[in-house]
Amino acid sequence: MRGSGGDIEGQEMGMLFVLTLEGNIYSCKHCKTHLALSDDIISMSFHCRHGKAYLFDKVVNVTVGKKEERMMMTGMHTVVDIFCVGCGSIVGWKYEAAQEKQQKYKEGKFILERFKVLGPDGSMYVHGPEVQAGGSDAEDA
């Protein structure tokens, strides 16, 4: 069977390599770029300033920002922000280093902020009354 219809995602070859994941996928809520699999979730009990966040063993299709020291509830960490390669929006951060021994398991792991990503069933996490001013590109009735 060839030519199965459906959604064709424009992937600009030569500019970016966008990996396609299979399974229960978390994807960028803006451009639907695949970011991570639910199989790779280490913990769902993280929090960030916007609400829930998940810790992932690996995340794809992101670029990293510059390292910074960040004080968190669990101590000082060296982190880099991570950005979706599809649209450049920030989706979370990566732990480069943790100072506390008990936090070392997070090194090299990724946080995706739940409200920045779509869940495996396409669900969007809504946190608080975030009103968008003049959203002229909204097509939902």
Listed in sequence order, the residues at least 6 apart from 102 whose beta carbon sits closer than 8 Å to its beta carbon are 74
Would you count residue 117 as binding Zn ion (CB under 5 A)?
no
Would you count residue 27 as binding Zn ion (CB under 5 A)?
no
Min CB(27)–Zn ion separation in Å: 8
Q: Which of 19, 87, 124, 126 binds Zn ion (CB under 5 A)?
A: 87
Q: Which of 21, 24, 30, 125 binds Zn ion (CB under 5 A)?
A: 30
Would you count residue 33 as binding Zn ion (CB under 5 A)?
yes
7 token code pair: 């959604």
Q: Which of 59, 77, 83, 86 binds Zn ion (CB under 5 A)?
A: 86
For residues 88 and 11, what is the distance between their CA atoms, to the nearest angstrom?
15
Would you count residue 92 as binding Zn ion (CB under 5 A)?
no
User: Residue 28 or 55: which CB sits closer to Zn ion?
Assistant: 28
User: Residue 74 or 89: which CB sits closer to Zn ion?
Assistant: 89
Q: What is the 3-state secondary structure (H, E, C) of 68-125?
A: EEEEECCEEEEEEEEEECCCCCEEEEEEEEECCHHHHHHCCCEEEEHHHEECCCCCEC
State the residues that interact with Zn ion by CB under 5 A. Answer: 28, 30-31, 33, 84, 86-87
